[in-house]
Amino acid sequence: MSTPGTGKTFVTSDIAIAAYLATNDFALIECKREPGGRFYFEFDDPNDKARLKSVEFVNSDCCKFDNHIRNLKKLLYKP
């Protein structure tokens, strides 16, 4: 995928990775919910660094935090 002016983009459906990329100054180009309900986040990635940042996220405390949030929500919404 490309966008005028930058040439390269990175797409993810993972909201936590999208938040991490935004926190690390990647410019969000498009954000939407696809017909099946899946999220779509597209970032400007002219230097091909977003994939590496995504891997960095998986190994970070931010990922641990996100997983704890998800688990706590499951506890709260459990019948």
- Give a yes or no: residue 3 inside a domain: no
The chain-wide mean pLDDT, for the chain, equals 92
Read off the pLDDT of residues 18-45 as tens digits, 9 standing for 90 and up.
999 999 999 999 999 999 999 999 999 9
- Give a yes or no: residue 4 inside a domain: no
Residue 5, pLDDT above cutoff 60: no
For residue 42, give its domain range.
9-77
For residue 37, list its beta bridge partners: none
pLDDT value of position 20: 96
Average pLDDT of span 62-74: 94
* Residue 61's CATH number: 3.30.70
- Give a yes or no: residue 1 inside a domain: no
As for how many domains the chain has, the answer is 1
Distance CA 20, CA 37 (A): 21
- Give a yes or no: residue 70 inside a domain: yes
CB of 41 closer than 8 Å to CB of 11: yes
